Chain A
Amino acid sequence: MQEELFLPLPKEDAPERMVRPSTTYWQDAWRRLRENRGATVGLVVIALICLFAIVGPYFSPYSYSDQSLIRANRPPSKANWLGTDNLGRDIATRLMYGARISLAIGVFASLINLTIGVVYGGIAGFFGGQVDNVMMRVVDILYGIPSLLYIILLMVVLGPGFGNILIAIGLTEWLSMARIVRGQILAMRGQDFALAARCLGASRWRILFRHLIPNSVGPIIVTATLTIPQAIFLEAFLSFIGLGVSAPMASWGVLASDGLAGIRSYPWQLLAPAFAISITMLAFNFLGDGLRDALDPRLRS
């Protein structure tokens, strides 16, 4: 293809008259998101979970660390509606505190995905050639180096702490997204609508961010929501190494991992955090699907 074919036409001075107030892409998306029933349900559930995490502890008679050894491993009851753990702590209260950590980590990981992952993969796929080769080989390198090694090193250098979990997650959690977005962009950049936009004089960045990425929004959102449970359990693993939040505070992932050992005798110790994670995931998926529909440029009316 020859470059001349794509020279933009000179812009006309007098634009056509608007027939109705213009709405931007994002305004439009927000309106459609509000109208989507699934997305609304998802949002409400997420809001409720956040409320549970933030306000819940103030209404609980227990703290996450209050032990009562004689009441250890009690099944759900009036006093402890989700039962107690191995040291007689109230599981419901521990879930509330755990939600703070796990939600924050899940959301953070999604954001990392949606920013670093999408932009990185988008650029690699769009520019292709040597740029793509170099950028994707960097991703290969990050995939290849055993993450456990640098996680242990991070632990040694930084010690335990919430911020340090975020660093570890930020380092690893965007790689799959980058590969998926890059594949999508690679496939779409030669398609008609991209060429059309180019003909109309759109800049490369505009094509990438306004045309190509919105057109891959489905896989992007699926991957981003999927990161949430992955990050929640990655955090449990980081806690295991010693990088996480120190006991007796425990995230959902840690609660679930700890509960697993007693699955036969005290199933509620596993089921409570597992349900919490699943419900959160369902809500994020509903929201994600709604977002997908809202952001899909073809569905714009």
Chain B
Amino acid sequence: MKTRLVSLVLALVLVIGGIAGAERAAEQVIRFNLGTEPETLDPAKSTGVPEARIELNVFEGLTRLDADDLPQPAIAEKWEISEDGLRYVFHLRKSSWSNGDPVTAHDFEYAWKRALAPETASQYAYQLFYIKNGEAYNAGEVTDPNLVGVKALDDYTLEVELEAPTGYFLSLVAFPTLMPVNRKVVEADPNGWFMKPETYVGNGPFKVTKWVHNSYMELEKNDLYWDADSVIVDKLVATLIESEDTELVMFETDQLDITHTVSRPEIPRLKKEGLLKVTPNLGTYYYIFNCKAEPLDDVRVRKALSMAIDRQAVTEYVTRAGEIPALAWVPPGIPDAEPGAEFREVGGDMLEENVEKAKALLAEAGYPDGKGFPTLTILYNTMEMHKAIAEVIQEFWKKNLNIDVRLNNQEWGVYLNSRDEGDFQVARAGWVGDYIDPMTFMDMHVKDGGNNDSNWSDPEHDRLIELAKTSNDPAVRMKAMHEAEAIILEQLPIMPIYYYVEPFLEKDYIKDVIYSSLGFIDFKNAWVAKH
């Protein structure tokens, strides 16, 4: 009896301890694998996720995304938006750079104009094309930087004018391309300031203290960050290990605390051992149909192909990390017009999988039981998972429609070229959102769009996209995009297969790291529990 009481008390203590939160470890160091060597850490120029993962911890924009990917005040304490949604005025808090200089509105103006300037040649300049004259300035059509719609009214007030109302502008300003930079430092060494810890001056929670190329980076807490009191971690070690296998070994032997890109064959085991964690990722894996190539120019054929595969099988047996079968185009996780509503839930599933119907459609198109159907070729870039998915789809089409399918893999650069030139029939593709709005998925199928590789276009679809881009009324925008999505899924220039998720491994003692559905990682409030 007595022992039971003791154990009860003990359990109670444990529960209370758990509620109060585990104790902090004495050493606040987090070791995570960044994966690849960053191409550049200049926020104006970087395009990739690994780069952004560093930059978001070294810089802070006007806003910062919270755990739900919603923008929260950061360097901007508050803001006003004009009635027509075209003019924003941001009021900045007093804060300082890691070298002690004050962060001012001028730093933002300078940074944004620099990212847009043609001579900077930033690949991601289009993140700023929403700003009035931004695109024209970048294209050299407007040469006077004063005409670009960003202006520091005084040291702590920034005025921004937009080309068109942009509902998601407040989350855009949290992105690397729109981070401020310290003019003095940048101008002293425009091409190399971000390479050395001494000159890589930021305004975020951490600062880079060491960068051994192709090996590892070290970041330490930035004591001059305005919110330094809420930063708990003293040091981040970002390893640059590209091998999935190696990072897994290092994780399991306690040499790493967080890793991404989990080796697919190991996923079932890691799931079973309770090590695998999954975070949503805003992206869709799909196949492009070349709508100019026979027999894919017939919408019935495209529909038949899309109906004849089992997406559930692909996610369950091939990708395995908990990906969601895609029965529409825009992935879940994006808000709709009504507060609390979600675009995907409102739109619902729009594709059907039905082998009998697929066979009927194919017969209707003139290929009863696949007779006379030419051999189809699926193009993919070389990767174990792309290969496995293509093999599975090949088998579905063969088994269900009696169509012969050849697989053709190409090295990445060659594959991109083939896709761009339209030199394929069916090509594997993936699209990851740049910002949290359906438009990041919806505007790619417009006629002559740079990302439209399917050779498909539809005037009504284009009209709806244009409407969504120019309207300030969220209800009108979302409705237009739902309708445009319906057109795409009726016409099927593309065949969505699944929505991405990001599998990752994180030790249980790592707490409060924020993983964004855009792939970002925020360590600002992270901490290490006693272990």
Q: CA A252 – CA B314 in complex, angstroms?
A: 25
Q: Produce 1/0 per residue, A55-81, CB < 8 A to B.
A: 000000000010101101100000000
Complex interface: chain A residues within 8 A of B269 (CB): 264-265
By the criterion CB–CB under 8 Å, are B391 and A155 in contact? no
Known contacts A241-B382, A246-B407, A246-B408; A265 and B268 CB within 8 A of each other: yes
| Residues B317 and A69 in contact, CB atoms below 8 Å apart | yes
Judge whether A242 and B384 touch: CB under 8 Å: no
Q: Please, what's the 1-or-0 string for B228-267, where 1 marks a CB less than 8 Å from any CB in chain A? A: 0000000000000000110000000000000000011110
Nearest chain A CB to B237 CB, angstrom units: 25
Residues of A within 8 A of B (CB-CB), count: 30
A240 within 8 A of B: yes
**Which residues from A are CB-within-8-Å of B388?**
86-87
A296 contacts chain B at the CB level, 8 A cutoff: no
Considering the complex, give the chain A residue whose CB is closest to the CB of B377. Answer: A246
> How far does the Cβ of A246 sit from chain B's closest Cβ, in whole Å?
5
The answer to whether A248 and B244 have CB atoms under 8 Å apart is: no
Provide the bound-state CA to CA distance between A247 and B408, in Å. Answer: 8
Closest to B406 in A: A246
B392: contacting residue among A69, A152, A269, CB under 8 A: A69
Inter-chain contacts of A269 with B (CB < 8 A): 265
Is A52 in contact with chain B by the CB < 8 A criterion?
Answer: no
Q: Does A156 contact B (CB under 8 A)?
A: yes
Q: With A242-B411, A261-B244 in contact, is A87–B392 under 8 Å at CB? A: yes
Cross-chain contact B414 with A246 (CB below 8 angstroms): no
Inter-chain contact B317/A155, CB cutoff 8 Å: no
Interface pair A261/B265, CB less than 8 Å apart:
yes
Distance in Å from the Cβ of B259 to the closest Cβ of chain A?
15
Chain A nearest CB from B110 CB (Å) reads: 42
**Measured between C-beta atoms, what is the minimum distance from A157 to chain B in Å?**
11
Are A86 and B265 closer than 8 Å at their CB atoms?
A: yes
- CB neighbours (8 Å) of B394 from chain A are 248
Give the shortest distance, in Å, between A221 (CB) and chain B (any CB). 35
Which of B245, B265, B395 has most A Cβ within 10 Å? B265
B190 to chain A, nearest CB (A): 32
Establish whether residues A266 and B265, one from each chain, have CB atoms under 8 Å apart when the complex forms.
yes
| B260: min CB distance to chain A, Å | 16
CB of B513 within 8 Å of the partner chain: no
Q: Which residues of B contact A70 (CB under 8 A)?
A: 317
Given contacts A246-B406, A248-B391, contact A261 B264 (CB under 8 A): yes
Q: How far is the CA of A242 from the CA of B408 in the complex (A)?
A: 7
Docked Cα-Cα span, A156 to B411, in Å, equals 10
Cα distance A263–B243 in the bound complex, in angstroms: 14
Q: Which residues of A contact B408 (CB under 8 A)?
A: 159-160, 242, 246
- Min CB gap A218→B, angstroms: 38
Q: Does A262 contact B (CB under 8 A)?
A: yes
> What's the Cα separation between A218 and B292 when bound, in Å?
60
Q: Is there contact, CB below 8 Å, between B410 and A155?
A: yes
What distance in Å separates the Cβ of B417 from its nearest Cβ neighbour in chain A?
Answer: 8
Residues 230-269 of chain A: 1 if any B CB is under 8 Å from the residue's CB, otherwise 0? 0000000001111000111000000000101111111001
Name the A residues within 8 Å of B316 (CB-CB): 69
Q: Mark B253-291, 1 if CB is under 8 A from A, else 0.
A: 000000000011110110000000000000000000000
How extensive is the interface on chain B, given as a class? 20 to 34
Interchain CB contact under 8 A, A246 and B409 = yes
Q: Does B16 lie at the interface of the complex (its beta carbon under 8 Å from any beta carbon of A)?
A: no
* Neighbouring A residues of B409 by C-beta, 8 Å: 160, 239, 242, 246-247
Contact B414 A155 (CB under 8 A): yes
Q: Does B390 contact A (CB under 8 A)?
A: yes
Q: Judging by beta carbons under 8 Å apart, are B382 and A242 in contact?
A: yes
How many whole Å from B525's CB to the nearest CB in chain A? 34
Minimum distance in angstroms from A274 CB to a CB of chain B = 16
Is the beta-carbon distance between B391 and A156 smaller than 8 angstroms?
Answer: no
Interface residue? B313 (CB, 8 A): yes
B387 an interface residue at 8 Å Cβ cutoff? yes
B152 in the interface (beta carbon within 8 A): no
When chains A and B are docked, how far (Å) is the Cα of A264 from the Cα of B270? 11
- Return chain A residues, CB-CB under 8 Å to B444: none
Contact status of A67 and B265, CB under 8 A, knowing A160-B408, A242-B410, A261-B384:
no
| Residues on the A chain within 8 Å of B392, using CB | 67, 69, 87
Q: Give B373-413 interface residues, CB cut-off 8 Å to A.
A: 382, 384, 387-388, 390-392, 394-395, 406-411, 413
B391/A152 in contact, CB under 8 A: no
A247 to B384, CA, bound (A): 11
Write the nearest CB–CB distance from B427 to chain A, whole angstroms.
13
The answer to the question of B318 belonging to the interface, with a C-beta cut-off of 8 Å to chain A, is: yes
- Name the distance in Å between A162's Cβ and chain B's nearest Cβ: 14
Docked complex Cα distance between A69 and B309 (Å): 14
Tell which of B263, B391, B411, B414 touches A87, judged by Cβ atoms closer than 8 Å. Answer: B391
In the bound assembly, the distance between CA atoms of A70 and B310 in angstroms comes to 13
Shortest CB-to-CB span from B245 to chain A, Å, is 6
A263 to B269 Cα, complex, angstroms: 12
Q: How far is the CB of B322 from chain A (nearest CB, A)?
A: 17
Residues of chain A from 60 to 115 with CB closer than 8 A to chain B in the complex: 65, 67, 69-70, 72-73, 86-88
Minimal Cβ-Cβ distance residue in B for A249: B407
Q: How far is the CA of A69 from the CA of B310 in the complex (A)?
A: 12
Q: Which residue of B lies closest to A269 (CB)?
A: B265
In the complex formed, the residue of B with least CB distance to A257 is B384
For the complex, give the distance between the alpha carbons of A140 and B127 in Å: 48
Contact B411 A155 (CB under 8 A): yes
A269 to B265, CA, bound (A): 11
Known contacts A155-B410, A241-B411, A242-B382: A67-B266 contact under CB 8 Å? no
Given A65-B395, A264-B269, A266-B265, are A152 and B382 also a contact pair (CB < 8 Å)? Answer: no
Complex CA distance for A265 and B266, rounded to whole angstroms: 6
A247 touches B390 (CB 8 A): yes
If the complex has contacts A242-B409, A242-B411, A246-B406, are A265 and B395 also in contact, measured as CB distance less than 8 A? Answer: no
By beta carbon, the residue of chain A nearest B417 is: A156
Residue of B nearest to A156 (CB): B414
- Scan residues 309-359 of chain B and give those whose CB is less than 8 A from a CB of chain A: 313, 316-318
Distance between B399 CB and nearest chain A CB, rounded to angstroms? 9
Residues of chain B with a CB closer than 8 A to A262's CB: 263, 265-266
- B391 CB to nearest chain A CB (Å): 5
User: Closest CB of chain B to A17's CB: distance in Å?
Assistant: 68
Q: A152-B411, A248-B407 are in contact. Are A87 and B244 (CB under 8 A)?
A: no
**Chain B residue with minimal CB distance to A241?**
B411
**Contact between A242 and B414, CB atoms less than 8 A apart:** yes
A247 touches B266 (CB 8 A): no
Residue of A nearest to B399 (CB): A67
Residues of B within 8 A of A261 (CB): 244-245, 263-266, 384
Interface residues in chain B, defined as those with a beta carbon under 8 Å from any beta carbon in chain A:
244-245, 263-266, 268-269, 313, 316-318, 382, 384, 387-388, 390-392, 394-395, 406-411, 413-415
What are 13 A-B contacts with C-beta separation under 8 Å?
A67-B391, A69-B316, A70-B317, A87-B392, A152-B414, A156-B414, A239-B409, A241-B382, A242-B382, A242-B415, A261-B266, A264-B266, A265-B269
**Interface residues of A, Cβ cutoff 8 Å to B:** 65, 67, 69-70, 72-73, 86-88, 152, 155-156, 159-160, 239-242, 246-248, 258, 260-266, 269
Extra contacts, 14 of them, besides A242-B414, A262-B266, A265-B268 (Cβ < 8 A), are: A67-B392, A86-B317, A87-B317, A87-B318, A88-B317, A155-B410, A155-B414, A247-B390, A258-B384, A261-B263, A261-B265, A261-B266, A262-B265, A269-B265
Cβ-closest 5 pairs across A and B: A262-B265, A69-B317, A242-B410, A247-B407, A242-B409
